[in-house]
């Protein structure tokens, strides 16, 4: 499923909360009629107020709407995100290596720009780290990332410096480089 943990939590909460609100409102509207029909009109009004105020609709609807808004804003900026779970993952990221290539328009990969959000890294250090790890990958974009580093005369780290390399389908790669985790 592409649904985020927040969406699943809200759904589980609503499955319990909604029936409780409906039952409480129903009891509040009906029991006073059985006890004292003359004053029950006020309780009926309170039951309706309870339904309006405690209605879980705002909670249940707000989460998907938030994700739909975020996905549509991303789409307007030519960014495709598979769903809410991936939006939440993006929100937890510390840094991101992105290539804005001609992959979709021209059918070939080419590194266009490097933006470094991880503090303490120069462009050369960052390219060295990324290209060294990508050198272990088989993905076509990895070839261009390595070629881009070589075009800038960036020396790759030795294969011994890279351990625990793993490909995460649909997400990228991860490895340990000189003891530091790279994702």
Query: Do 152 and 146 meet the contact criterion of CB atoms below 8 Å apart?
Result: no
Specify whether the backbone of 81 is left (phi greater than 0), alpha (psi in -120 to 50) or beta: beta
Counting every residue written for the chain, the total comes to 183
Query: Do 149 and 128 meet the contact criterion of CB atoms below 8 Å apart?
Result: yes
15 Cβ partners below 8 Å, 6+ apart? none
The question of whether 99 is a catalytic residue gets the answer yes
Catalytic residue selected from 38, 99, 144, 166: 99
Catalytic site positions: 99
């Amino acid at each position: 499923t592409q649904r985020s943990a927040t969406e699943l939590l809200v759904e589980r909460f609503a499955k319990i909360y909604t029936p409780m609100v409906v039952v409480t409102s129903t009891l509040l509207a009906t029991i006073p009629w059985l006890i004292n029909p003359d004053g029950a009109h006020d309780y009926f009004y309170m039951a309706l107020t309870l339904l309006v105020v405690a209605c879980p609709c705002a909670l249940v609807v707000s989460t998907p709407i938030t994700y739909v808004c975020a996905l549509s804003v991303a789409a307007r900026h030519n960014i495709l995100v598979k769903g809410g779970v991936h939006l939440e993952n993006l929100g937890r990221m510390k840094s991101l290596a992105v290539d804005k290539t001609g992959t979709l328009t021209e059918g070939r990969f080419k590194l266009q720009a490097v933006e470094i959000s991880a503090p303490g890294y120069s462009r050369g250090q960052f390219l060295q780290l990324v290209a060294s790890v990508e050198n272990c990958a088989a993905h076509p974009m990895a070839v261009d990332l390595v070629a881009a580093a070589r075009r800038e005369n960036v020396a790759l780290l030795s294969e011994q410096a890279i351990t625990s390399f793993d490909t995460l389908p649909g997400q990228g790669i991860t490895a340990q480089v000189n003891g530091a985790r790279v994702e």
